[in-house]
Amino acid sequence: MAHGDYDCCAVCDNKQSFSYDPETKSEICSSCVAGLARQGVILGSVSELMDWIRQGSEDVRAALEKVGFLRCYYLNDVDALVQEKFPDLGRRK
């Protein structure tokens, strides 16, 4: 989980890099890019990720689950979209 002074991955929410002005879910980490690519999903940006999520299909949900999608504690556009399409996906326990 990435919070405080770290940018976090748009998919898995893991820490990406230290920042004094962190951005919540503004990039996709290499592990998630690779994990999605193994499932045939090729994404180059968070914008492309959001367009793909907007499809709202069960294939999208399954792929996100497989790579370990996790919501952030901080509000962000990616998590808001996921909650709209898949309300129970990525909730913290």
pLDDT 10s digits, 8-54 = 999 999 888 777 776 779 899 999 999 999 999 999 999 999 999 99
CA–CA separation, 29 and 93 (whole Å):
23
Q: Which residues contact 85 (CB under 8 A, 6 or more apart)?
A: 53, 54, 56, 60, 61
Write down the pTM of the prediction.
0.88
pLDDT 10s digits, 46-76 = 999 999 999 999 999 999 999 999 999 888 9
Residue 7 backbone dihedrals phi, psi, to 5 degrees: -75, 150
Q: What is the pLDDT of residue 2?
A: 42
Q: What is the pLDDT of residue 1?
A: 41
Query: What are the residue ranges spanned by the domains of the chain?
Result: 6-85
